Structure 1
Amino acid sequence: MSVSIARLHGEACYDCGAVLGDLIPAGEVTHPDSGRVWPIRKCGDHVTGWCSWHSGPATSALRVVVAAANSGPGIRTFACETCREQRDRMPIEDAQ
């Protein structure tokens, strides 16, 4: 198994190695050689079923853009249907 220690320690996204932004708990992985179980984290690009707004699981989570004042194009995150409606956010796919 060739996975960096940062990914196994939850210091980087398990899938892509990203260290910027929020890393969300995404379950566990068992190392095939040692049998040790590691809790892993993933970035918003690789986690599904998680709402970043209420920080909890969601079956209706879709990617949305959150604009920040005086910044570039904004960050992308996931929001469930309820949080999207409360904050008037449109999924990225619908906005294009």
Structure 2
Amino acid sequence: MSAPASPAPGDGLRIIGWCAWHKDVADGVRLIQVDEQGSGRGGIRYACEPCRERHGLVPFADREAS
């Protein structure tokens, strides 16, 4: 299951998706990691707010461009 891009604060959208860190459906997931496809499968990983805080995860959209 995948989630759409994160909504702007206060727009009232609710995002429910799979949290790859606690391995269950969660409310408010954000994209954390994009696994590029090399010789195997690519993929994406989302995390809920409690897991982001617990593991120090920064959402992909909130990172500085390198």
State the TM-score, normalizing by the size of structure 1: 0.39
1:13-41 Cα distance to aligned partner (Å, 9 max, x none) = xxxxxxxxxxxxxxxxxxxxxxxxxxxxx
- Which residue does 1:56 correspond to in 2? 24
Matches within 5 A, 1:17-56: 42=1, 47-48=2-3, 49-56=17-24
Deviation at 1:60, TM superposition (A): 1.1
Aligned equivalent of 2:6? none
Residue 65 of structure 1 corresponds to: 33
Task: Determine the C-alpha separation between the residues in 1 that align with 2:24 and 2:33.
Answer: 18
Name the counterpart of 2:52.
84
Structure possessing the higher radius of gyration over alpha carbons:
1
Q: RMSD between aligned alpha carbons?
A: 2.0
Q: CA deviation at 1:50?
A: 1.3
What percentage of residue pairs aligned between the two structures are identical? 35
Q: Secondary structure at the match of 2:45?
A: strand
Higher relative contact order (CA 8 A, sep 6+): 2
User: Which runs of no fewer than 5 residues in structure 1 stay unpaired?
Assistant: 1-41, 67-74
Q: Distance in 1 between matches of 2:29 and 2:50?
A: 9
* Unaligned segments of structure 2, at least 5 residues: 4-16, 35-42
Moved over 4 A (4+): none
- Residue in structure 2 matching 1:94, options 59, 62, 66: 62
